[in-house]
């Protein structure tokens, strides 16, 4: 008896390997999009009664000095919920996203949400204004959130 091994040829990703030029075009597109979205978010903030403060990670929050607070460590547990809105303040999903006893370092969440959870106090509720690059980015969530959509996130630590 002998073993018959099916040799499979490796193929590059659909469309081939991206060139440095393609990578540069993509990088510049995201940089320009982020600049445009930051300007649009700042214009929106200027029309609000509530104050928003920029964070080091490139989103805004309703608490001054928020990301200078003590940071929660990896492997600590947190329970939280959040609701997503567009900048017309229309709620995107009827039910909030909710997680119980999530362990830092072991869950995959929107970048801005995971970052904000590091600094939020138990029982506290904050509003985040998030450019698309820290939300669902170029692809959206493939359900109700289209590509390149900045979001308002109402986040609560339970």
- pLDDT, residue 16, reads 57
Distance of CA 153 to the CA centre of its chain: 10
- pLDDT, residue 33, reads 81
Q: What is the per-residue pLDDT across 43-52, written as a single tens digit (0 to 9) for each?
A: 999 999 999 9
3-state DSSP percent of the chain in helix, strand and coil, to 5: 25, 20, 50
What's the token pair of residue 12?
């590059």
Stretch 10-32: mean pLDDT, rounded? 64
Stretch 32-48: mean pLDDT, rounded? 93
Could you count the other beta carbons within 10 Å of the beta carbon of residue 66?
22
Domains and CATH numbers, the chain: 23-157 (3.10.50.40)
- pLDDT, residue 19, reads 76
Stretch 32-56: mean pLDDT, rounded? 94
**148 in Cβ contact with 86 (< 8 Å):** no
- pLDDT, residue 141, reads 93
- pLDDT, residue 105, reads 82
Beta strands in 24-148 (DSSP E): 53-54, 60-61, 77-85, 97-103, 125-130
Q: Which residues pair with 60 in a beta bridge?
A: 54, 129
Q: What is the pTM of this model?
A: 0.82
Could you count the other beta carbons within 10 Å of the beta carbon of residue 78?
18
- pLDDT, residue 5, reads 44
Q: What is the per-residue pLDDT across 120-154, written as a single tens digit (0 to 9) for each?
A: 999 999 999 999 999 998 889 999 999 999 999 99
Q: What is the per-residue pLDDT across 84-129, written as a single tens digit (0 to 9) for each?
A: 999 999 999 999 999 999 999 888 889 999 999 999 999 999 999 9
């Amino acid at each position: 008896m002998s073993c018959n091994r099916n040799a499979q040829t490796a193929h590059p990703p659909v469309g081939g390997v991206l060139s440095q030029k393609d990578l540069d075009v993509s990088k510049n597109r995201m940089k320009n999009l982020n600049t445009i979205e930051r300007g649009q978010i700042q214009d929106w903030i200027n029309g609000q009664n509530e104050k928003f403060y920029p964070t080091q990670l490139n989103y805004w929050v309703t608490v001054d000095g928020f990301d200078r607070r003590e940071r929660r460590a990896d492997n600590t547990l947190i329970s939280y919920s959040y609701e997503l809105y567009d900048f017309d303040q229309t709620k995107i999903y009827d039910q909030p996203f909710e997680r119980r006893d999530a362990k830092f370092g072991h869950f995959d969440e929107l970048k801005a949400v995971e970052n904000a959870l590091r600094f939020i106090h138990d029982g506290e509720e904050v509003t985040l204004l998030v450019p698309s690059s820290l939300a669902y980015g170029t692809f959206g969530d493939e359900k109700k959130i289209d590509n390149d959509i900045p979001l308002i996130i109402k986040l609560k630590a339970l």
